[in-house]
Structures are given as structure tokens and as C-alpha cells.
């Protein structure tokens, strides 16, 4: 469980980026964080792992008050937070496996990490998560040989191998095409549900968030202006968060895309079934 209470952030030069934000997220819940540019979404995510220092307020992960930690305590707490980034943040010249194992760096000693001698249990964990994200055929490829969607799968695997309690996800699909975006979003939601992970997904893609997450939080000028289920996010609320835009069209287009994609996947499935020997025998 993540509990944020009265969180505010004022940067040295500038307005308040976060203004008295309070929310709590139970284990297993995936929350979409939406809002216009400058609303404070990245600041909120960065305050949670203290890449940005909050000005006031409390952030509790389980029983741990994150805002009071320093040194070793903070490093331990960060191990419990899996980060997924827009630009993947992979080491391009390292292999998929090495990138995923880097998610265990918070657990192994300096020399082991330096010599890249990870315990067998970590290698086993890495294989398990690579299998889950569908990259078993790419384990030894270098990161720079992968497509955008594959890179983000490595990013997800690297976060999962940490065995975190929460996932902090910053614009995971901003560099991907619409179809790959849906696959990646679906994967994030599924793995969080399987492992009972709380997650915050910062996204500009309202339609994608509505399609996949259980709860949406809307930020505007550092304040929470919406917190509810995706179906309650109607055009009035969207206009209140973002201003005037033809929301019905944006959302309808995304839904049409998803329906077309599902129909195409169904067609492929039917063709595969028809092509199996038993199906061929049945038709004779
Ligand atoms: N390092 C910084 N120093 C000063 N002001 C900052 C800094 N980082 C962010 N801000 C300001 O804080 C506010 C919130 O920014 P933040 O990046 O959190 O918004 P965001 O919702 O993530 O925006 P975007 O969707 O464009 O990434 C903005 O007004 C921004 O200019």
C-alpha cells in the first residue's frame, strides 16, 4: 500500500509543482496519472523515489516513511520501486539479459556487480521475467538490436526482476506506435495484477489509460482534480482537466483501433486453429 498525504513541491525557481496532493493506492491497483503538460505528473513520480525532494508532506510505502530516509535506508526503499521510463533507459551495448540483471544491482555487492557475477538465483529470476514478457528468443541480443516495443519489454523485465512492491511508470508508450502501445500497456497491467503490485502510470494518452487501468487520477496545476474509475471520466471532466477539445472523437478513434486489432487477432487465431492437423482431419 502506498499512501501520500499533503504532498507539496515548490522548485527553487518557479511555482508550486505539487500542491497538497493526497492519495493511497492498494496492492494490485494500477492507477493512470493524467493531466496537461506541467501539471506535476513527473514531479509526483519523482518525489516517490526522492529523485525530487518534496517540500512538505508524507509518502509511506507499507510501514516506511520515504521522506525521512537517507543513505542505506533510501537505497533499500528504492529497491522496492520498479521504474519504467519513456526512453527505456537501457544500456545499448549490453545484452537483454545484462540489462535485466542490472535490476538486481541494488541487491548484489559492488564487486559482484562490477565483475558481472550475479548469483544463479538472480539469473533464474531474470529468465523467468524474460519469459513472462515474451523475450526468451532475444536474451543474448544487444539492446540496440531491438525494436521499441521489445526495448520497453526489457524495461518492464528489469523493473520486475527487482521484485518491487510498486511500479512507477513514466510515459511508457510515448515513443511507441498505437498498437505496440496497447500491447505494452496491457502487459504492464497484467504483470501488476499477477504480482499484486501497486502502480502509477504517468501518461498523456487518456484513451489508452481509460482502456486499461482501474483508476484514473487527474492532476491540474499540481492539484488532484479527478480521482475515480475510467468510466467516470466523461467529456466534462476531461474538459475541466485539459480544456476544450473534441474528446469524444479522440476516444472513439482509439476504441475503433482496438476493436479492429482484436478482430484481426481473432482472425489469426481462427486461421491457426484451422491449420492444425487435427482441424484439417476434422474437415476431411
Ligand atoms: N527542475 C525543475 N526546476 C524548476 N521547475 C520545474 C522543474 N521540473 C519541473 N518544473 C516545473 O514544475 C511544474 C510541473 O512539471 P512536471 O514536469 O512535473 O509536469 P508534467 O505534468 O510531468 O509535465 P509533462 O507532461 O510536460 O512532462 C512545471 O511548471 C515545470 O515547469
Q: Give dist(CA 131, CA 180) in Å, integer.
A: 18
Q: Rounded to the nearest whole angstrom, what is the distance from the C-alpha of residue 14 to the centroid of ligand 1? A: 9
State the pLDDT at residue 281: 44
Q: Which residues line ligand 1 (CB under 6 A)?
A: 11, 13-15, 17, 35, 37-43
180-227 per-position pLDDT tens digit: 999 999 999 999 999 999 999 999 999 999 999 999 999 999 999 999
pLDDT tier for residue 282 given thresholds of 50, 70 and 90: very low
Cα 115 to Cα 118, 121, 148: the distances in Å are: 9, 17, 29
Q: Give dist(CA 93, CA 5) in Å, integer.
A: 41
* Among protein residues, the one whose CA lies closest to atom 29 of ligand 1: 38
Residue whose C-alpha is closest to residue 88's, from 137, 28, 29, 146: 146
Give pTM, 2 decimals: 0.85
Grid cell locating 170: 513514466
Q: Select the CATH number that applies to the domain covering 2-245 from these four: 3.40.1640.10, 3.40.50.300, 3.40.605.10, 3.40.50.1380.
A: 3.40.50.300
Domain boundaries, the chain: 2-245, 246-284
Q: Give dist(CA 212, CA 225) in Å, integer.
A: 20
* Among protein residues, the one whose CA lies closest to atom 3 of ligand 1: 11
* DSSP class per residue in 101-151: HGGGTTTS-HHHHHTT---HHHHHHHHHHHHHTT-GGGTTSBGGGS-HHHH
Q: Give dist(CA 13, CA 263) in Å, integer.
A: 51
Q: Rounded to the nearest whole angstrom, what is the distance from the C-alpha of residue 174 to the centroid of ligand 1? A: 17
Q: Ligand 1 pocket test: pick from 9, 12, 38 the residue with the most ligand atoms within 8 Å of its Cβ.
A: 38
> What does pLDDT average to over the chain?
87
Q: Rounded to the nearest whole angstrom, what is the distance from the C-alpha of residue 92 to the centroid of ligand 1? A: 28
Task: Please report the atom of ligand 1 found closest to the CA of residue 52.
Answer: 1
* Among protein residues, the one whose CA lies closest to atom 11 of ligand 1: 17
Query: Where is pLDDT greater, at 87 or 24?
Result: 24
pLDDT tier for residue 273 given thresholds of 50, 70 and 90: low
pLDDT tier for residue 284 given thresholds of 50, 70 and 90: very low
Amino acid at each position: 500500500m502506498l499512501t501520500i498525504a499533503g504532498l507539496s513541491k515548490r522548485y527553487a525557481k518557479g511555482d508550486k509543482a505539487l500542491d497538497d496532493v493526497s492519495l493511497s493506492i492498494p496492492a494490485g491497483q494500477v492507477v493512470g496519472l493524467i493531466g496537461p503538460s506541467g501539471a506535476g505528473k513527473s514531479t509526483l513520480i519523482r518525489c516517490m523515489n526522492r529523485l525530487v525532494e518534496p517540500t512538505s508532506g508524507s509518502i509511506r510505502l507499507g510501514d516506511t516513511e520515504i521522506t525521512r530516509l537517507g543513505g542505506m535506508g533510501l537505497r533499500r526503499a528504492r529497491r522496492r520501486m520498479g521504474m519504467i521510463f519513456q526512453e527505456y533507459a537501457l544500456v545499448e551495448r549490453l545484452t537483454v539479459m545484462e540489462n535485466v540483471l542490472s535490476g538486481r544491482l541494488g541487491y548484489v555487492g559492488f564487486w559482484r556487480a562490477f565483475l558481472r557475477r550475479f548469483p544463479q538465483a538472480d539469473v533464474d529470476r531474470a529468465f523467468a521475467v524474460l519469459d513472462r514478457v515474451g523475450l526468451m528468443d532475444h536474451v543474448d541480443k544487444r539492446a540496440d538490436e531491438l525494436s521499441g516495443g521489445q526495448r520497453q519489454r526489457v524495461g518492464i523485465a528489469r523493473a520486475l526482476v527487482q521484485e518491487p512492491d510498486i511500479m512507477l511508470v513514466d510515459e511508457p508508450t510515448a515513443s511507441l506506435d498505437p498498437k505496440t502501445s496497447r500491447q505494452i500497456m496491457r502487459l504492464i497491467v497484467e504483470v501488476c495484477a499477477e504480482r499484486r503490485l501497486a502502480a502509477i502510470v504517468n501518461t498523456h494518452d487518456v484513451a489508452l489509460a481509460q482502456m486499461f487501468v482501474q483508476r484514473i487520477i487527474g492532476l491540474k496545476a499540481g492539484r488532484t482534480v479527478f480521482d475515480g474509475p475510467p468510466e467516470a471520466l466523461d467529456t466534462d471532466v476531461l474538459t475541466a482537466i485539459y480544456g476544450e477539445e473534441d474528446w469524444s472523437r479522440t476516444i472513439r478513434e482509439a476504441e475503433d483501433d482496438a476493436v479492429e486489432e482484436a478482430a484481426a487477432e481473432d482472425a489469426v487465431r481462427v486461421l491457426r486453429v484451422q491449420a492444425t492437423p487435427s482441424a484439417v482431419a476434422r474437415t476431411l
